[in-house]
């Protein structure tokens, strides 16, 4: 197993030279990164297509577009974020000054996942650069073509003592986690997140964990069913359901269940066609292991729509599973695929009780026009973030910190929250000697 101590020492020495702390240097780096993304856009889209069969339109929007928007927003605000800010001083220290000075942590490690292999690798790096840190990026081995592009973009255009990509298998991540980085940012499963947290604890390294969980979608009896069906289908089946904030399961009031399912089927057909297994633009499951795990779920309940699959192409149709119980295997762990289990309810209190006694989800979505019911859900269920009368859109706003809670993660990023994540805010009280 390789030792990365030399690389970390180089990054520490580079950081101590003070170059990365200069705000203009950070701005110049972000502009350079933006230019490199534009220059390599076709190669990025091609790599993501090879790895996940992600369509050009979807990859442009969700992989490249979101990163470029994050860079632009950061460039617009970085100077003000990085300023030392004076704050009021307590009366007991009359005559003194108090201020807060943002400073970078130092050398950070970013471990990225495979499901959005470009966006979820580069977006955290935008925050690390904006904060004034050096960084090591470990992309996922399950998306090798995108990992190679990331390596080319960073390793060919930035010195390794500043920004460096390391490709490799799980053993590479394990070796990197043994090093004493100043901050760790991990995106992935809850199970691996626990391993990362254990490794970080040995050095008391602060970290952000962007994990997952079973994100519920509730469709109440008063919901706009046309909009609900369209937005649930879009949020669930994009990227073949391999999205951390995708609706994981559907809780629908029994009085509107059949109508909603009919509209969901229509929305799926409108988006992907009749014979989806033959659709060249529908995303593929990332690996045979994940494919086999997902196909096993098709034995749960009854198939209300979809259900076809092709292992040779790693493709599974968008599938709706009806007559599901809370105890079925598909309801035990995050699905992370194009399968939507459905549970009907009559008593809202019963589903609230079921949700709150499970691990806190990364996201929750509610379709209802009843503001009292909206307030009840928001006040009684803990979750990372979510939306009312929509799905997944909250994670695209620069003004909404994105992250989990409990088993779905700790810490947040996007917009100013990204700068804050990779920044220590140093509190100073300055007294005179008079």
Q: Residues with catalytic annotation?
A: 210, 244
- Please give the helix or strand (H or E) that residue 342 lies within, else none: strand 339-345
Q: Give the strand order in the sheet containing 385-388.
A: 302-305, 319-322, 339-345, 249-253, 216-219, 363-367, 385-388
256-286 in b/e form (b: 16+ CB < 10 A) is bbeebbebbbebbeebbeeebeebeebbbbb
Is the separation of the CB atoms in 325 and 343 below 8 Å?
yes
Using the CB atoms, write b or e for 59-95: b if 16+ within 10 Å.
Answer: bbebbbebbbebbebbbeebeebbeeeeeebeeeeee
Work out the angle between the directed axes of helices 66-81 and 23-39 (0-180°, nearest 10): 170
Distance CA 91, CA 89 (A): 6
Other beta carbons within 10 angstroms of residue 2's beta carbon come to 12
Distance CA(214)–CA(422), nearest Å, equals 28
Q: Which residue has the tokens 């005179």?
A: 432
Structure tokens, 110: 């970013």
Spatial CA neighbour of 337 closest among 52, 61, 48, 139: 52
Distance CA(166)–CA(236), nearest Å, equals: 32
Nearest CA-CA partner of 218 in 261, 252, 255, 169: 252
Q: How far is CA 246 from CA 72, 122, 232, 325, in A?
A: 26, 21, 9, 20
Rg (CA), the chain: 23
């Amino acid at each position: 197993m390789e030792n990365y101590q030399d690389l970390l020492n180089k990054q520490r020495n580079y950081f101590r030279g003070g170059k990365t702390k200069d705000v203009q240097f950070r701005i110049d780096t972000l502009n350079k990164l933006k230019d490199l993304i534009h220059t390599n856009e076709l190669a990025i889209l091609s790599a993501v297509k090879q790895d996940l069969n992600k369509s050009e339109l979807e990859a442009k929007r969700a992989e490249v577009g979101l990163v470029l928007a994050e860079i632009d927003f950061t460039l617009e605000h970085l100077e003000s974020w990085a300023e030392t800010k004076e704050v009021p001083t307590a009366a007991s220290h009359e005559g003194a000054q108090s201020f807060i000075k943002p400073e970078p942590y130092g050398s950070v490690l970013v471990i990225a996942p495979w499901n959005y292999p470009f966006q979820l690798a580069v977006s955290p790096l935008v925050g690390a650069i904006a904060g004034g840190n050096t960084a090591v990026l470990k992309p996922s081995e399950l998306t090798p073509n995108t990992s190679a592009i990331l390596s080319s973009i960073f390793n060919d255009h930035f010195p390794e003592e500043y920004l460096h990509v390391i490709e490799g298998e799980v053993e590479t991540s394990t070796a990197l986690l043994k090093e004493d980085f100043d901050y760790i940012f991990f995106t992935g499963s809850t199970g691996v997140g626990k391993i990362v947290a254990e490794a970080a604890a040995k050095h008391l390294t602060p970290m952000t964990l962007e994990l997952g969980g079973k994100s519920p979608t509730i469709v109440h009896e008063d919901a706009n069913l046309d909009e609900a069906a369209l937005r649930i289908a879009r949020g669930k089946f994009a990227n073949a359901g391999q999205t951390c904030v995708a609706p994981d399961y559907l809780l629908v009031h029994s009085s509107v269940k059949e109508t909603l399912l009919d509209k969901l089927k229509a929305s799926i057909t409108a988006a992907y066609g009749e014979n989806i297994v033959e659709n060249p633009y529908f995303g593929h499951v990332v690996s045979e292991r994940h494919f086999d795990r997902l196909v096993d779920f098709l034995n749960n309940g009854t198939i209300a729509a979809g259900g076809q699959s092709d292992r040779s192409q790693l493709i599974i149709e968008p599938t709706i599973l009806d007559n599901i119980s809370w105890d079925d295997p598909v309801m035990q762990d995050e699905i992370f695929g194009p399968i939507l289990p459905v549970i009907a309810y009559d008593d809202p209190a019963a589903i609230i009780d079921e949700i709150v006694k499970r691990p806190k989800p990364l996201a929750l979505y509610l379709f209802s026009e009843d503001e009292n019911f909206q307030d009840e859900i928001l006040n009684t269920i803990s979750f990372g973030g979510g939306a009312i009368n929509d799905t997944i859109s909250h994670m695209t706003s620069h003004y909404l910190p994105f992250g989990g809670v409990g088993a779905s993660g700790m810490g947040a990023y996007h917009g100013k929250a990204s700068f804050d994540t990779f920044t220590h805010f140093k509190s100073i009280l300055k007294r005179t000697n008079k």
